Amino acid sequence: MEYYIGRDKKGNEVLLQDDLSALVDIAYIGHSKCGSSSIQSWFKNHDEIYINKRGREDKVMQNGPLNAVKFAYKSYPNNGKLISYKQPTDINDNVSLSTIQNYFPHTKLIIGIRHPVLWFQSFYNFWEGMAARNSKLKHLPSNTSELIGPCLPNVTKHVCTDHARFHLQIARVLGNRGAQLPTETIFSDREVKLLGVNANAISSIRAQRVHNPVFIYDMSQMADKTNHTRSTIFKENFRQFLGVQNTFPEVPASNKGKESRRKIDICHDSHRSVRAVLMEHSRNTAVWIREFLLHSKDGNLFFSSKDYFEELLDTYNHDPCDDEHVT
């Protein structure tokens, strides 16, 4: 089947086939500050994968299927490599999810998560570092309680507590694919409570779900400093998921110079209110993934080392600020 989606610059009609998955092989769609830059570095240094060498995040799907096709054809002269892109905000973008669902149903999707408290601190400080270097960017509110709830366009960007509801965002991608229920269109009362949504939102989740192969990981799996074997297993599982022959290099070390310019310490008492909300989302994320996703029989859902992944989910029940050091 063909779909009319618009006209090119010369006024010619543009028709797209209903499955364009062969044009975009791999997509990192979420989340920011969850190891996406390390994965981008892996792709840059892998001879079987193409990704934008300038490191800029391409809004491949956020402007609809025509833009995605233009990106793919622009990228094709790269010696037959797998075409990939990184856009961590796709997971929060309705146009992106709809484009993937309707036109790229076999593109391999990658989703990273981390403890929501640590994610919030990292993303807040990252954005503030960007704003300090670019006068065109607005600073985030210094009172982090103003960032509780949904993100506000042109005010909070993507830094808000609602975007720490990783389980809800993954559910928007997957629908109810992970549930052990007679029909995948049914959400249990318990799941609805964990997701914290109403009936209209459930309908939207059902409508937007994709059936793509999806690889979900926790950021700590990428470079486990206490267990090199785990990192090796992760890279091997990741390689198998992508279907490439050569392995990936070690994860590059973080830029500690940037980390030292932190704008907030999330453990400071002034951030107690935002941390309380983040911990609620953290606990709900852990429970939902464990009960409704981790042990799914869906053959297109992939995790590396499920037992270790489940151990990491246990840490989501614990406020990292109770520890001596937060990184």
Using alpha carbons, list the distances in angstroms from residue 244 to 82, 110, 204: 9, 15, 35
15 lies in a domain?
A: no
Token duo for residue 303: 């995790």
4 lies in a domain?
A: no
Stretch 198-215: mean pLDDT, rounded? 79
What pLDDT score does 248 carry? 86
pLDDT (tens digit per residue) in 51-110: 986 655 678 999 888 888 888 877 776 678 999 999 999 999 989 998 999 889 999 999
What pLDDT score does 156 carry? 76
The C-alpha atoms of residue 72 and residue 42 are separated, in whole angstroms, by 20
11 lies in a domain?
A: no
Name the nearest CA neighbour of 109 among 18, 36, 196, 178: 36
Residue span of the structural domain in which 183 resides? 21-322
Among 43-47, 134-138, 211-215, 218-222, which stretch is predicted with the lowest mean pLDDT? 134-138
pLDDT mean across residues, the chain? 85
What pLDDT score does 14 carry? 55
- Model confidence band, residue 262 (pLDDT cutoffs 50, 70, 90): low
Rounded percentage of the chain residues whose pLDDT exceeds 90: 52
What is the identity of the amino acid at 179? Answer: A
32 lies in a domain?
A: yes
3-state secondary structure string, 280-318? HHHHHHHHHHHHHCCCCCCCCEECCCHHHHHHHHHHCCC
What pLDDT score does 64 carry? 87
Domains identified in the chain, total number:
1
The C-alpha atoms of residue 51 and residue 148 are separated, in whole angstroms, by 34
2 lies in a domain?
A: no
Name the nearest CA neighbour of 216 among 248, 241, 191: 241
pTM (predicted TM-score):
0.89
13 lies in a domain?
A: no
The C-alpha atoms of residue 60 and residue 98 are separated, in whole angstroms, by 13
What pLDDT score does 66 carry? 80
Stretch 241-252: mean pLDDT, rounded? 84
8 lies in a domain?
A: no
**CB environment 177-214: b (16+ within 10 A), e (fewer):** bbbeeeebeebeeebeebbebeeeebeebeebbbebbb
Question: What's 280's domain CATH number?
Answer: 3.40.50.300
Q: Are 316 and 283 in contact (CB under 8 A)?
A: yes
